[in-house]
Amino acid sequence: MSSDSRTVSFISLGCPKNLVDSEQLVSTLLGRGFRVLSAPEEADLVVVNTCGFLEASRAESLDTIRRAVDLKSKGVARVIVAGCMVGNYRDILEREAPGVDRYLPFVDYAQLDKIADEVLPPRGRSSFMVERRRADISLTPAHFSWLKISEGCNHTCSFCVIPSIRGPMRSFPEDDLVRRAEHLVDKGVQEINLIAQDSTVYGTDLYGENRVVRLLERLDRIERLLWVRLMYAYPTEVTPAMMDLLAGGSRIVPYLDVPVQHASDAVLKRMRRGYGRKDLDRLVAGLRQRRLDFTLRTTVIVGFPGETDEEFGELLDFIRSARFRHLGAFAYSREPGSRADDLPGHLPDSVKQARLDELMRLQQSIAFESQDRRLGESALVLVDAASADGEPARARSVMEAPEIDSHILIDGGPVNAGDLLQVRIRERRGYDLVAIPMPRVESAV
């Protein structure tokens, strides 16, 4: 093993897809002999993995880069910037956050070890003494993991610039994914969450056919794995066979994250989503027919260019009838370079905000009602975080995905992250539920 004394600190912004990239980048640097520190101010190198999805994410990325660059005057030697902003917003980065030592576009990710050597040469020994080792690091708690099944996207949604940043969809080989999942389970992971830009067309590029069901079936058979969850489904790609498996798998949980974005036919057409309200109604009904307690999560955009009161009303009507357990909503944000940016009828921020508030009030009443129906029920939960600083332990059941959904707070303990508990739900606290542990269950893994 090398005696390289270089240290690196990673700041990963944005979605789980970015976090998976960060895990690979960290692993590359570990393999190159770097030590990873959590405090950026103590590191020789800071890598900021940016998110460029929305205006707010870009502002956060710029702010984080500026703070990282400021650290250079306090001892941090170098700053590398990676992620979505490097592809499409390089000019903004250079103008508004100068002082970065190197930008790392997606195409150069495999070269990070060499680039890091150029930016910050190994100390003490010449670089040929530094061995490449295979490292494997997880930035999530030990009991759950994200598994990216493909990269890029073939859709042409008018509000989105991700395809131009990440390129067309490229699926990762099915055998590699199954091996990776088995490896994660060997390391103690109990829950695997499948992610992609569109997880429901997995395999079409690589195998000439959709392999989602096949991949899910293989993961469903991995012993010692507790839960498998499918995130980022595209509404028109959820087939009856997929629904059957999602509703009736052993380890596949009855949960689907399916961003619908809107429900008015006219808005969906302007968004270039390729479906209409009837398709959405069919999807929701298909899953609920298979399982009444099926959990649906979605994301919607309000205030899209030209959105009329009536069209916004159609979205509210759909939300009222579909009753998503979890919903994330965003006010439309202009994305330079996207087709929607050139559409007429951009709405004032005040209108977008008012519609967002109205939609969230509606969703709050739906979410609270659905949580209230669970009072008194028992649930099997996986603990994400032990109680600390007077805060109760946080856990989730199959109905909650990590990091984005509400929690089940555990009243009583002690419990540790990764524990599997049977609990009785006692009360609702905002969007969260509070539960007490029942007699202990041995972990399935």
Closest distance to ligand SF4 from the beta carbon of 261 (Å): 7
Rounded Cα distance between 44 and 56, Å, is: 29
- Indicate which single residue of 13, 68, 157, 280 sits in contact with ligand SF4 (rule: CB under 6 A): 157
- Closest to ligand SF4 by CB, 160 or 319: 160
Q: How many helices (H) and strands (E) does the chain have?
A: 14, 18
Closest distance to ligand SF4 from the beta carbon of 173 (Å): 22
- Closest to ligand SF4 by CB, 26 or 301: 301
225 contributes a contact to ligand SF4 by CB under 6 A:
no
List all residues 6 or more positions away from 325 whose beta carbon is below 8 Å from its beta carbon.
295, 296, 297, 367, 370, 399
Q: How many CB atoms lie within 10 A of CB 161?
A: 21
Q: How many CB atoms lie within 10 A of CB 407?
A: 22
Closest distance to ligand SF4 from the beta carbon of 111 (Å): 25
| 3-class SS of residue 191 | strand
Residues in the interface with ligand SF4 (CB under 6 A) total 9
Closest distance to ligand SF4 from the beta carbon of 162 (Å): 4
Closest distance to ligand SF4 from the beta carbon of 108 (Å): 21
Q: How many CB atoms lie within 10 A of CB 190?
A: 21
338 contributes a contact to ligand SF4 by CB under 6 A:
no
162 contributes a contact to ligand SF4 by CB under 6 A:
yes
Cis before 259 (ω within 30): no
State which H helix or E strand residue 382 sits in. Answer: strand 378-385
160 contributes a contact to ligand SF4 by CB under 6 A:
yes
264 contributes a contact to ligand SF4 by CB under 6 A:
no
Segment contacting ligand SF4 by CB under 6 A, of 17-25, 55-63, 159-167, 283-291: 159-167
153 contributes a contact to ligand SF4 by CB under 6 A:
yes
Rounded Cα distance between 327 and 332, Å, is: 16
155 contributes a contact to ligand SF4 by CB under 6 A:
yes
- Closest to ligand SF4 by CB, 120 or 153: 153
- Closest to ligand SF4 by CB, 138 or 338: 338
The residue assigned the tokens 């209230």 is 372
- The structure tokens listed for 186 are 């060997």
Closest distance to ligand SF4 from the beta carbon of 153 (Å): 3
- Closest to ligand SF4 by CB, 160 or 409: 160
Nearest by Cα to 259 from 351, 306, 166, 196: 196
| 263 close to 317: Cβ distance less than 8 angstroms | yes
- Indicate which single residue of 12, 18, 57, 197 sits in contact with ligand SF4 (rule: CB under 6 A): 197
Q: What is the dihedral of CA 437, 443, 444, 445, to 10 degrees?
A: 150
The residues that bridge with 264 in the sheet, in sequence order, are: none
- Closest to ligand SF4 by CB, 127 or 236: 236
Binding site for ligand SF4 (CB under 6 A): 153, 155, 157, 160, 162-163, 197-198, 234
